Amino acid sequence: MAKKKKHKQQPALKEKATFRGKLKAGMAFVLHPRPWYWNILYIFLSCAAIALLAEWISRADSTVDVWTFKMTVHSFLSAGKWALTYITAYLAAVFFLFMLSLFLYTLFNSTGLAVLLPGLVYCGLSAANYFKFVARNEPLLPWDFILIGAAAEFAGSAGLKFTPHIFIAFGGVILIALAAFLLNRGWGREKKRVLPVLRARWMHRLISAGAILAVIIAFFGSFYINVTWRKAWGFEVNSWNQTRDYQNYGVLNMLCINCRYIMVDKPAGYSEEAIDKLRDEILDKAEADGTLEYIDGEQEVTPNIIFVMLEAFGDADQLKNFTYSENITATSDWLEENAVSGYLLTSIFGGGTSITEYMALTGMSTSFLPPGSTPYQQYVNDPVDAWPSYLKETFGYETVAIHPYGAAYWNRNVAYPNMGIDTFLSKDNCFQYAPRCRKCNYVTDDAVMEQIIDTFEAQQKESDDPLFIHAITIANHQAYHLEDYTDEERVKITSTEPLSEELQIAFESYVTGLRNTDRAMQLLLDYFQTVEEPTIILFFGDHWGKTGTVNEAFVPAGLFDWGTLYEDHENVRRAYSVPFYIWDNYLGLQGKVENLSAYQLTPMLTELYGLDRPIYFEYLRQQMDIFRGHYSNTVLDAAGTPSGKKPAAVKDALGKMELLQYDLLFGKNYLYN
């Protein structure tokens, strides 16, 4: 019998077979069915990854519009650096997210669903935080959720864009959840579940879910709400610098921490006796100052009073690195010489118009409210003491508001009647045929001034009562585009500092709008110079404009240094100050006024013109002898100079103001009752 020829095994084939074997063994190990508690491990690791993805969204550079692969990697590494630097904050976010996922897993017995829902919510919150910071340089806050309608309307006109890192982060969450679904469902021909479902009765699962929910509530209350515990873990939160806190402690943690401030706590020492004592002090000081007669409601002259708040109106001359192709401040320059003028310290930059008007109309500061509050939505849902209501109830003024946008925007349709405004002319019932401008199709500032004139003339024909008008323009609202103006209309900028093409376009559109606003002011002045009825007109800005999506936009313009914004108090003053002008046709008052806060504006006007004022406004008038307002950690002293110092007299005045403001807005109104 012939012997079989032995074939020598090829080394390469042996090596190949070994590699395949190892690969097969490795896959078998990975896909081998695990005990049920491996679901818990998978959920925890998924939450750790999701926390990084979500924080990556909010930490990406908001100053660029063109993304590159390098930027994507760099921004993700910055999220990893945050997790290592602030490991307590990272682990707190992971634990809270893990407990929420575990709660869902216990209820629905689905690992995929348990990681998908919290993951999408976390990433959604981070994306909202990113977009809000792009638009307004402010982080997302719990009370922003009541503004969803307004935010959606604004987002369309502001040109906010989804960047690649947002899609990647959401895609990562979906992939993690999809993998869990597949591992729960089964793998291979035999459909063996790698992550088996939980074998437990509904009653046992409900009991477990209840226990997990109790842990969630306990952790939320002890860690996020309890200040002492939070500080013990190194969370030093500063309400005046929420941007930094969100960067340090993360979006999820800060949203939970800020839930503590949804309700406004009663200040220490608030009582009827305390307010009575303050009222007596105010009246005694008024008698000593010779101003007691101005709070008796018996003034002889009742001039027409017109407030015109100018959208995104800043002083173009303060952009010291820019020169313009034409004079864009002719009316403002004239008012500086022929009226009362000065600078107003606001509490907003780039957006939040309703906050400045709230402060001007009520004399109330937002410093005693939760950080980032929007009073019109949150607190002016019942009648409040305000300048329009005082004028109407004391002297019989007719009160009108004019704004060429939707009445429901910022909840003005509810807030205005509660502040004593009887008639509200908005885009809903007026301006249907008004001329429009810019890519966003806003009503022009000229049209607003003409509506003020038409309203005044109609009222004069029908009534002898004095008139109060509060008007707001909108034409220079962000965002700013090349298509806003033709080349002939556009103001050209020459800058001593280099500007990107996008920033050049945005700034030229913005300052062109400033020029148009300046011209519209002249239109109103020209008309009322011919009117015999005593009339006071107050022009004031709400905030600086936000040019594009660039936080550092005003740095090359020479307005302030973004990098040291909150450390340099003069920086804060420049960034948050806008001009105001007060003109009248019967006394001809002129002069410069030292810097002051928006909530002191109307009390200052009453002092200038000898107008009667409510007791609270008299207190604010007296307050200006001590300091001229404040924002964040910056205080304007009696001369209007910014600093970080709060002498005992300033602290005492702020404490009294907090008591009075709480009494009028949330308390029993002891001051007037």
Q: Looking at residue 501, what is its pLDDT?
A: 86
Transcribe 132-183 into DSSP letters: HHHHHS----GGGGGGHHHHHHHHHHHT----HHHHHHHHHHHHHHHHHHHH
Q: Which of 185-194, 316-325, 495-504 has the lowest mean pLDDT?
A: 185-194
Model confidence at 1: pLDDT above 60: no
- Predicted confidence (pLDDT) at residue 149 exceeds the cutoff of 80: no
Alpha-carbon distance of 558 to 496, in angstroms, equals: 9
User: What gap in Å lies between CA 628 and CA 568, rounded to an integer?
Assistant: 18
For residue 537, the surrounding DSSP H or E stretch is strand 535-541
Tally of CB atoms within 10 A around 149: 12
Assign 32 to helix, strand or coil: coil
CA 262 to CA 370: how far, in whole Å?
7
Please give the Cα distance from 544 to 15 (Å, whole number): 70
Asked if residues 579 and 356 have their Cβ atoms less than 8 Å apart, the reply is: no
426 Cβ partners below 8 Å, 6+ apart? 402, 403, 404, 405, 406, 407, 412, 413
Tell me: pLDDT of 521 over 70.
yes
Please determine, for residue 189, whether its predicted confidence score (pLDDT) is greater than 60.
no
The count of other CB atoms within 10 Å of the CB of residue 658 is: 17
Which two structure tokens, joined as six digits, stand for 566?
């909150």
pLDDT tens by residue, 567-599: 788 888 888 899 999 999 999 999 999 889 999
Pairing of strands 398-403, 591-592: unpaired
Q: What mean pLDDT do residues 33-49 have? A: 81
pLDDT value at position 259? 82
Phi, psi of 491 (to 5 degrees): -80, 130
Q: Which of 52-66, 456-470, 600-614 has the lowest mean pLDDT?
A: 52-66
Span 408-427, pLDDT tens digits: 888 898 899 999 999 999 99
Instruction: Give backbone dihedrals phi and psi of 60, rounded to 5 degrees, phi first.
Output: -65, 155
Whether pLDDT at 30 is above 50: no
CA distance linking residue 385 with residue 672, whole number of Å? 10
Number of H helices and E strands in the chain, helices first, is 24, 16
Q: What is the mean pLDDT of residues 268-283?
A: 95
What mean pLDDT do residues 354-383 have?
Answer: 88
The 10s digit of each residue's pLDDT in 195-218 is 666 666 778 788 888 999 999 999
Distances (CA, A) of 10 to 3, 4, 21, 254: 21, 18, 17, 64
Q: Does position 157 have pLDDT exceeding 60, yes or no?
A: no
Ranked by mean pLDDT, the top range of 31-35, 71-75, 100-104, 295-299 is: 100-104
* Residue pLDDT, tens place only, 286-343: 999 999 989 877 788 899 999 999 999 999 999 999 999 999 999 999 999 999 999 9
* pLDDT higher than threshold 70 for residue 34: no
Helix, strand or coil for residue 4? coil
| Six-digit token string for 365 | 């500061």
Lowest mean pLDDT among 164-178, 213-227, 252-266, 508-522: 252-266
- Position 28 scores a pLDDT of 46
Calculate the alpha carbon distances from 348 to 37, 104, 259, 608 in Å.
Answer: 50, 40, 21, 26
Question: What's the whole-number average pLDDT of the chain?
Answer: 86
Please tell me which residue, 142 or 636, carries the higher pLDDT value. 636
Is pLDDT of 4 > 80? Answer: no
Q: What percent of the chain has pLDDT over 90?
A: 54
pLDDT at 549: 44
- By the 8 A CB rule, do 135 and 161 touch? no
- The per-residue pLDDT for 35 is 62
Q: What is the mean pLDDT of residues 545-555?
A: 64
Beta bridge partners of 187: 192
Mean pLDDT highest for which of 122-126, 379-383, 387-391, 410-414?
Answer: 387-391
**Cα–Cα distance measured from residue 667 to residue 670, given in angstroms and rounded to the nearest whole number:** 8
Lowest-confidence segment of 80-89, 255-264, 398-407, 439-448 by average pLDDT: 255-264
Residue of 239 and 130 predicted with greater confidence: 130
Mean pLDDT of 134-146: 74
The amino acid at residue 305 is I
Residues 356 and 629: beta-carbon distance below 8 Å:
no
Residue 632, Ramachandran bin (φ over 0: left; ψ between -120 and 50: alpha; else beta): left
Q: With bands split at pLDDT 50, 70 and 90, how would you rate the model's confidence at 20?
A: low
Whether residue 353 is predicted with pLDDT greater than 50 in this model: the reply is yes
* Closest C-alpha to 671, from 341, 307, 390, 344: 390
